[in-house]
Structure 1
Amino acid sequence: MARPRIAVRAAVALALTLAGTLATACGAGSDGSRTLTWSMWANGGEEQQVWQELADRVSNEDPRITIKLETSSFDDYFTKLATRFDSGDAPCIVSMQALRTTGYTQGMLPLDDLIARNKFDVSDFDKSVLDGLSADGKQYALPYDVGPVILTYNKDMFRSAGVPEPRVGWTLAEFESAARKLTGDRQYGFVAAPQDVSMFPMVLTRSGAQPTDGAGRLRLTTPAMTEGVQWYADLAAKEKVAPRLPAPDPAFSDREFLSGNVGMGTNGPWALLNLRNQAGFQVGLTTLPAGPEGSRTYTSGSGFGISTSCPDPEGAFKAITLMTARKQLEWLGGVGRAYPSRESAQHAWYDNAHLAGAREVLEAANATAIPLRTTKNWEQVNRQLNQYGPDLFSGASSAQHVLEQVQGQAGQD
């Protein structure tokens, strides 16, 4: 039965009104302007200022785009993001770490069609971090940084103790010797912690063990992994060249290193801003000490994606392409917040690092670095490692027992 013309006109008018209301609620203006929310982690006011400036720089580049920044600490970020994905009210632009991508794809929009439709060239991005921000053959984020896990050290402490500063290619035996010589009078040679980016690179260089197999299954109980983790934990529990971990604390490593009471710790080039501005001592960089197969490490990075609940994916895609443009990544590299994911922008990090030997260290680390492959429930794995860490690092529990617990609770057959 045909509908009366007046009813059709009324229905069309109502639909247009609702569409206009939705567009306004989503931040899209009739003149093509748009307001997009962006969720990012920030540990401290300085980092928050950097991300706010990046948002402002994008708006300066394209005045039609306004980015509303929301931040939380890294420790809380992914838990909050999962909750917002589940509730369907996630921000349009979401920040993602390569290690955790596979666990959050249910709330993120694959970018492949947008990349193809906009003819966006990704060839300048480091391939390892592009791969890390993808899952099941789909790209979920555009990277802003990349970098290998390296060793940072307190130059002042080495100088005071009369210990030669570590050089590229140094060995585990030299690392252990330096850690012993630096320890004493409420000071420690190294800081060890059960976080993924802190512990697994050191285990890799010590025993070659990786936490997952080629198919993405958790493999924490292999002999090589057990041996490597026990050695790492014993730096605190038996050798006492590292401070005890008093309670589950994801910020333990950075806080202990910045206190000036620890000689060495693992970190990455992404941490330069905090280290340079917060450390009351000269910071040095070197490669992880070489084990039986040489110095080995992991590379990781982060980027910006689009949530499935974003009503304006085209606008969000435009924003993240501007956020990861060479101009912006050169700026991020210059202020020390990112080792740029674009190879053409990496010179800016070196130009402004003001750390002797930084290029040699990063190039040597990059030459052997491999992506840290994780599982879909990696957040759970990391949380449990933190939970059982205090007993492991005090010697109250063994690596075998802890790894069996985590494998049993979070593992996949």
Structure 2
Amino acid sequence: MPRNRTTRSWAGALALALGALTLATGCGGDSSAAGSGGKTVLRYTWWGNPDRAERTDKAVKLFEKKHPGVRVQTSFAGFDSYKQKLATQAAGGDAPDVMQLDYRQIDQYARGGVLLDLDKQRRQLDTSDMDKELLRTGRVDDTLYAIPQGRGAMTLVYDARLWRKAGIKAPRPGWSWSEWADAVRTVAQRTGKAGATDPGQSEDAFEVWLRGRGKALYTKDGAPGFTAGDLAAYWTFTDRLRRAGAVSTAEQTTQLDGTVENTPLGRGTAASDINWDAPASGYEPMLGDDVRLAPMPAGEDGTPGQYFKPSMFVGAAADTAHPDEAAELIDFLVNDPEAAKILGANRGLPVNDTLRAELEPKLTGFDRTIADYQDSIKHAVSAPPQAPPAGDISLQTTFQRDYDQVSYGHLSPREAAEDYLTELKAELR
């Protein structure tokens, strides 16, 4: 987990990226037709794992077959490396023609002039059959800059064997955070393993906890939607569980690096983890048939905190030389029935309502697990929030770092919460 202090502005973040990283696109040159047999060349980049890469390459080959005048150069990396590389490319005016984007990048890249206005590409890009609530999340100042490429949801991923051993029933939609706490305490007492990864380090989990209390991470105008008291209450809750041995230790939690392999659940030292449903597929090689997905806890009064979130977006570079072809590739990725079959639920379930309805009955393996999970919670979710404001992308690391101070006993939950709110407000200025 990074320990450096975060930068304080978009320009600062890009300057840091330029100074710290060597530009290595992995895509080769600009997106001109030179040296490509007269074809238009698009650069398309994304983050993911080898399974996603294999599926994406198959889909891209199909796109090229249907668009013989276009060649697509592809590259991918792990999420952390991808974020750094894309920031470097954007800062250097060399953003790829088509790029995968995280929820937290939309506002920053749109306001930074990196992303193409997709409202101007309506002839090539059809959004008429997409989930309107999810589509709204790709807008900034009422302009469409990114298309959700999949629908995901947060989940409690758990080892069913350990939960059975502890005598814990499968969680149901609407269970509360206090019921979750009781469950992980019981699992820890009866199995000798932590009941869960400590969620105190997760801004995503904190957002679900907040929403269950009728609050939000950010207001509609991009200001903090919670107080230091709210965050102190959350960190006090998780701190007490850690001190009781119900969740992972500080040493285990600080090993988190964004991969499932390095979570306590992945290392075999905990019985559950809070994660997003699509990445949870990574637990299957380790836990096999014992992997289960459970709904996130709700507020004590039953208010749902979780929501269907765009698992990722796809957008185009504002300065691409081929906006029409870039929009056609985006349209293909989100609307083509054959592409949907190839991509499956690896990026989340399709946001195209028709494709999702056609695809779900045919899913197998963990794709089927994700579809069943999302179907089980569809009546226990609330509308998704708008994309976080520029500056939020670095705050997840700040959130983790400040909670580390609580975990190691250097600060009280209240002191750490006040520090975080101060840094959050400075980051958003």
The answer on 1:303 being equivalent to 2:286 is: no
* RMSD over aligned Cα atoms: 2.8
Structure 2: gaps spanning 5 or more residues: 1-28
Q: Cα gap change, 1:373/1:268 in structure 2, threshold over 3 Å: closer, same or farther?
A: same
Per the alignment, residue 259 of structure 1 pairs with 267
Q: Deviations over 1:286-334 (max 9, x none)?
A: 2212322313214321221111232111111111111112415632563
Mapping 1:13-412, distance limit 5 Å? 26-28=31-33, 33-42=39-48, 44-105=49-110, 106=112, 107-115=114-122, 117-118=123-124, 120-184=125-189, 186-193=192-199, 194-205=201-212, 207-236=213-242, 238-246=243-251, 247=254, 249-251=256-258, 255-294=263-302, 295-301=304-310, 302-328=312-338, 330-331=340-341, 334=344, 336-347=346-357, 348-349=359-360, 351-352=363-364, 353-355=367-369, 358-365=373-380, 367-371=381-385, 373-411=387-425, 412=428
**4+ residue segments displaced more than 4 Å:** 29-32
From the superposition, tell whether residues 182 and 226 of structure 1 become closer, same or farther in structure 2 (CA, over 3 Å): same
Percent of residue pairs identical:
19
* SS of residue paired to 1:153: strand
**Structure 2 letter corresponding to 1:343:** D
Rounded to whole Å, the distance in 1 between the matches of 2:402 and 2:342 is 36
Distance 1:274 1:61 in 2: 32
Residues 119 and 144 in structure 2, CA contact (< 8 A), matched pair in contact too: yes
Q: Is the 8 A contact 2:265 2:271 kept in 1?
A: yes
SS for the counterpart of 1:102 is: helix
* Count of residues paired in the alignment: 384
Report the structure number with the largest CA radius of gyration.
Answer: 1
CA distance in 1, matches of 2:240, 2:382: 26
1:139-196 deviations in Å (ceiling 9; x for gaps) = 1112210223232222111122222121222233321221011115551111134233
In structure 2, what is the Cα distance between the partners aligned to 1:363 and 1:241? 29
Alpha-carbon distance change, 370 to 390 in structure 1, aligned in 2, over 3 angstroms: same
Q: Is the 8 A contact 1:151 1:266 kept in 2?
A: yes
Classify 1:60/1:274 alpha carbon distance in 2 versus 1 (closer, same or farther; 3 Å): farther
Instruction: Write the distance in 1 (CA, Å) between the matches of 2:181 and 2:424.
Output: 32
CA 1:221–1:339: 2 relative to 1, 3 Å: same
Inter-partner Cα distance in structure 1 for 2:63 and 2:209: 38
Find the residue that maps to 1:35 and give its secondary structure.
strand
Is the Cα contact below 8 Å between 1:189 and 1:264 reproduced in 2? yes
**Normalising by the residue count of structure 1, what TM-score does the alignment of the two structures yield?**
0.83
Which secondary structure state, in structure 2, belongs to the residue aligned with residue 390 of structure 1? helix
Q: Give the conservation status (yes or no) of the 8 Å contact 2:133–2:383.
A: no
Q: Which amino acid aligns with 1:391?
A: Q
Secondary structure of 2:223's counterpart equals coil
Q: Secondary structure at the match of 1:400?
A: helix
Tell me the alpha carbon deviations over residues 2-60 of structure 1, each in whole angstroms, 9 at most, x when there is no partner. Answer: xxxxxxxxxxxxxxxxxxxxxx9533369863221112111x32233233233223223
